[in-house]
Amino acid sequence: MKRREKKAVFITAYDYPTAMYADVAGVDMILVGDSVANTTLGFRSTTSVTMEDMIRHSGAVTRAVERAFVIGDMPYMSYQPSDEAAIRNAGRFIAEAGCDAVKCEGGERVAPRIRAMVDAGLVVMGHIGLTPQNLAQLGGYRVQGKTSRQVEALTADIKAIEEAGAHFVLLEAMPPEVGAALRESVEIPVYGIGAGPHVDGQLLILHDVIGMQDPGILKKPRFVKRYADVGSVIVDAVSRYSADVRSGVFPSEEHFYGG
């Protein structure tokens, strides 16, 4: 797609129905993000998610998908400790969950892990900029690449990721001119979430796009565009069902067996 100058559509999904709808809608790539922590499991931090959670959710997604390319997000501490841990856990996303590729967060310092996974035959996406697994070090949800020092560090990161053999990279939360410069600095496809328009494709979190997010757990970032208010649709449907049960309108004869 990059060679053909076509923008890739990339979205998260976490379970069978959300993946099925995203696939039917024709997205190119699906990330089973560790944002499942916030969107689906009710945690405040992605660091609460385990390998078992990710394998369970990734498997549900791949069972639903017929055409999109599915990437499993490696959870906190599944790749940081050693090359061996990285290869073993990345392999589980492929062998047990049926993913096409894995993603891990970090630049220069995870480059050796990326090299190890690529050498083991895996397809790997890098992820730099705002990396939620390192929120404490980053001082919270902050736009990255705002100073020349940060831009230098991001440039070194993306080059190290490409050099390590990553097949593509994701940029998160940075000014558009930084996204553009980083994209120009490497050959591999560069996707963005809040990194401006000058990249090879856009990622958004499905629950942000469809309006199914608890604002107490995750605030809607500036880069999000909301296309539906599914949360209100659910509240409305369940409220009307509740009213029908309480008033005796449901079940009516058409919902009875026999007769």
Contact residues for ligand KIV, defined by CB under 6 A:
12, 31, 33-35, 73, 170, 172, 193, 203, 205
For the question of residue 253 being annotated catalytic, the response is no
SS3 of 76-144: the string is CCCCCCCHHHHHHHHHHHHHCCCCCEEECCECHHHHHHHHHHHHCCCCEEEEEECCHHHHHHHCCCCCC
Q: Which of 172, 177, 184, 187 is an active site residue?
A: 172
Q: Of the two residues 115 and 127, which places its CB atom closer to ligand KIV in the complex?
A: 127
Instruction: Report yes or no: 10 and 52 within 8 Å, Cβ to Cβ.
Output: no
Angle between helices 176-184 and 148-163 (to 10 degrees): 40
3-state secondary structure of 249: coil
CA distance 46 to 41: 10
Residue 113 C-beta: closest distance to ligand KIV, Å: 16
Q: Of the two residues 141 and 227, which places its CB atom closer to ligand KIV in the complex?
A: 141
Residue 103 C-beta: closest distance to ligand KIV, Å: 7
Residue 18 C-beta: closest distance to ligand KIV, Å: 12
Q: Of the two residues 12 and 89, which places its CB atom closer to ligand KIV in the complex?
A: 12
Catalytic machinery residues? 172
